[in-house]
Amino acid sequence: MGTKAQAERKLLCLFVLEGLLCSLALGSGTVYTSEPEVRIPENNAVKLSCTYSGFSSPRVEWKFDHGDTTRLVCYNSKITLPPSKPTVSIPSSATIGNRAVLICSEQDGSPPSTYTWYRDGIEMPANPKTSRAFSNSSYNLNPTTGELVFDPVSASDTGEYSCQAENGYGTAVKSNAVRMEAVELNVGAIVAAVLVTLILLGILIFGIWFAYSRGYFDRAKKGTSSKKVIYSQPSARSEGEFKQTSSFLV
């Protein structure tokens, strides 16, 4: 193999080191290495170089190529992992006619995982109208964020939901299944609550009216009124004459 190679879409820089290879995607350019063949004793450290030019913002990947199997080893300068078991946030019940949001996520996949949703073990298509099993549902599925949004929830959306995370290199991992029940709005309970409220309000109004008609409010006012004090001005008197000239009436 030469030290330089060119390709229009995908350029590979291969190293004879247990099948490791460097890949630059997105665009055309030149990729090369000063050491196209590296031999190193087992368990020793080694530094691999992969130089490129003609790329504006390339995506650099290191891969392990073994026969028909290719696995991503390093992406975005980080060692890659297979996805971990995703966690889900699924309501146990959702009211028919309302909006419901189901969330699936996992943090260990590198590159980031994409998500697939299942209901009762059947894969949910991006467009529910393309499948007879989901034609009565109305939802939006985002494979990048892991969100599954029902808007609105229908009676046919009852079932056990699970999601699967995969990043194209590690092993796809599935979450536990959680059941969601699509329930009707309890109109009877709402009507009963309104009636009870109206009855209590009627009793309160009747009590106030009865107390007022019996004069309880007037008596309470009289009992709390203060006594009045009347003071009369003294009358004119001549000198040497003394008598009571003022009085208080309580």
Query: Considering the entire predicted model, what is its pTM?
Result: 0.55
CB 54 within 8 A of CB 30: yes
CATH number (domain holding residue 152): 2.60.40.10
Angle CA(116)–CA(123)–CA(149) in degrees, nearest 5? Answer: 60
Portion of the chain with pLDDT greater than 70, in percent = 73
Query: pLDDT tens digits, residue range 139-182?
Result: 999 999 999 999 999 999 999 999 999 987 778 999 999 999 99
Residue 218 is assigned to a structural domain of this protein: no
Query: pLDDT tens digits, residue range 186-213?
Result: 667 777 888 888 889 888 888 888 888 8
Residue 146 is assigned to a structural domain of this protein: yes
Where does the chain show beta strands of DSSP type E?
4-7, 10-14, 20-25, 29-32, 51-53, 59-66, 69-75, 78-79, 87-89, 93-95, 100-105, 114-119, 122-123, 139-141, 147-150, 159-166, 173-174, 178-183, 230-231, 248-249
Query: pLDDT tens digits, residue range 11-35?
Result: 333 333 445 566 655 456 777 777 7
Which residue would you say has higher pLDDT here, 249 or 173?
Answer: 173
Residue 140 is assigned to a structural domain of this protein: yes
DSSP string, 145-204: T-EEEESS--GGG-EEEEEEEE-SSS--EEPPPEEEEEE---HHHHHHHHHHHHHHHHHH
Indicate the average pLDDT of the chain: 78
Query: pLDDT tens digits, residue range 45-64?
Result: 887 777 778 777 777 777 77
pLDDT at 44: 83
Residue 208 is assigned to a structural domain of this protein: no
121: pLDDT strictly greater than 90 = yes
Residue 154 is assigned to a structural domain of this protein: yes
pLDDT bucket at 10, cuts 50 / 70 / 90: very low
| Structure token digits, residue 152 | 């609105």
Residue 197 is assigned to a structural domain of this protein: no
Domain around 145: 87-183
| Residue 51 CA: distances (Å) to CA of 4, 56, 59, 133, 243 | 10, 14, 13, 51, 128
Look at the chain and report how many structural domains it folds into.
Answer: 1
Residue 219 is assigned to a structural domain of this protein: no
pLDDT bucket at 7, cuts 50 / 70 / 90: very low
Residue 25 is assigned to a structural domain of this protein: no
